[in-house]
Homo-oligomer: A and B are copies of this chain.
């Protein structure tokens, strides 16, 4: 067979769009919820004055965020950085179209949220018995019962409720937290009226496989409610976990400016996934976020100067 004949026999191969093939597994649009002003600041000793918080939050709004977690109703003695929760939320109440949310960990927090006429609340409980006992003095079962009451009471007062499960990917203690347990908790929280679910990798232990496994269990009970992933980058797997979650259909992530934050109760549970690095990943996958990277990174650089320390995020120093 000569070359000409051979070439005639070969059917033309249609050009494969490798970008389209690869990106098909991921959502077209992702919502980032900035948690730096809450989860980032609460980890720092140097107090951020309310005026500076407001300035940063307004710059985040300017950068395109529609969801910002700005405070938590916790005891000011335990977390002094959050002592101005009421004042801050009141100052932000006149700004339309943005969900400024606050975290609550107990009924006293819900009561404060009600008094503050909070519109967006995050109720959060731990799936780990040991973690729950250490932080709240309650067993995980007791915490869940309380959590369901918190959700119900918040709904009664017209709040949009996000229900968070801490330690959803492990606690670091010598205990097994099965994905069935997480799914059962999620189901109860949905039944109690939650509008969104949040799965928190409080201890930075999630891996792409466990993200996949927990989401396989939780998604069926979540129905159409959004699942938010709250990930830390303790072991360098933060963005690999984002990819695993997106390939399971998740399109909502908590992120913090410059990768600030952590868990004051668990040593080594370093930094939330950095807003800038996550945004870079999403942008590289042609996923829309509506966010302006350089405006966000400018906030991070200003906070680096304010706190006088480097944060673990990799990109924020390099985007103008």
Q: Give the B-binding residues of A (Cβ under 8 A).
A: 16, 18-19, 22-23, 207-210, 212-213, 216, 233-240, 242-244, 268, 270, 274, 277, 280-281, 284-286, 313-315, 318
CA distance A303 to B268 in the complex (A): 21
CA distance A237 to B238 in the complex (A): 9
A68 to chain B, nearest CB (A): 22
Which residues of chain B have C-beta atoms less than 8 A from A243's C-beta? 208, 240, 243-244
Chain B nearest CB from A207 CB (Å) reads: 4
A23 to B208, CA, bound (A): 10
Q: Please pick, from B16, B216, B233, B315, the residue contacting A235 in the complex, using a CB distance under 8 A.
A: B315
Verify A315–B236 contact, CB threshold 8 A. Answer: yes
Cα distance, A314 to B262, chains bound together (Å)? 14
Contacts of A286 in B (CB 8 A): 209
Known A-B contacts A233-B236, A236-B274, A277-B235; A207 and B18 likewise in contact (beta carbons under 8 Å): no
Shortest distance between the CB of A13 and any CB in chain B (Å): 11
Contacts of A314 in B (CB 8 A): 233-236, 270
Given contacts A208-B284, A208-B285, A239-B240, whether A216 and B18 have CB atoms under 8 Å apart is yes
Hey, which chain B residues are within 8 Å of A234, CB to CB? 314
Chain B residues within 8 Å of A22, by CB:
208-209, 212-213, 244
B313 and A19 contacting across the interface, CB-CB below 8 Å: no
| In the complex, residue of chain B having the shortest beta-carbon distance to the beta carbon of A239 | B240
Q: Determine the chain B residues whose CB is within 8 A of the CB of A240 once the complex forms.
A: 239-240, 242-243, 281
Interface contact A18-B213, CB-CB below 8 Å: yes
A18-B216, A209-B286 given; name 11 further pairs at CB < 8 Å: A19-B209, A22-B212, A235-B280, A236-B274, A236-B277, A236-B281, A236-B314, A237-B239, A240-B240, A240-B281, A243-B244
Report how far A314 CA is from B315 CA in the complex, Å.
17
Whole-angstrom CA separation of A277 from B238 in the bound complex? 12
CA A318 – CA B269 in complex, angstroms?
Answer: 12
A213 to B18, CA, bound (A): 6
Q: How far is the CA of A270 from the CA of B310 in the complex (A)?
A: 16
Contacts of A238 in B (CB 8 A): 236
Closest residue of B by beta carbon distance from A280: B235
Name the CB-closest residue of B to A213: B18
Q: List the B residue with the shortest CB-CB distance to A313.
A: B236
Q: For the complex formed, measure the closest distance between the CB of A145 and the CB atoms of chain B, giving whole angstroms.
A: 28
Which 5 A-B pairs give the minimum distances between C-beta atoms? A207-B284, A236-B277, A240-B240, A22-B212, A236-B314
Cα distance A209–B26 in the bound complex, in angstroms? 11
The docked-state distance in angstroms from the alpha carbon of A281 to that of B314 is 20
Instruction: Tell me how far the C-beta of A291 lies from the nearest C-beta in chain B, rounded to whole angstroms.
Output: 16
Q: List 15 A-B contacts (CB under 8 A).
A: A16-B216, A18-B212, A18-B213, A22-B212, A207-B281, A208-B284, A209-B286, A210-B284, A234-B314, A236-B239, A236-B280, A237-B280, A237-B281, A240-B242, A240-B281
Q: Measured between C-beta atoms, what is the minimum distance from A297 to chain B in Å?
A: 12
Distance from A229 Cβ to chain B, minimum over Cβ atoms (Å): 14
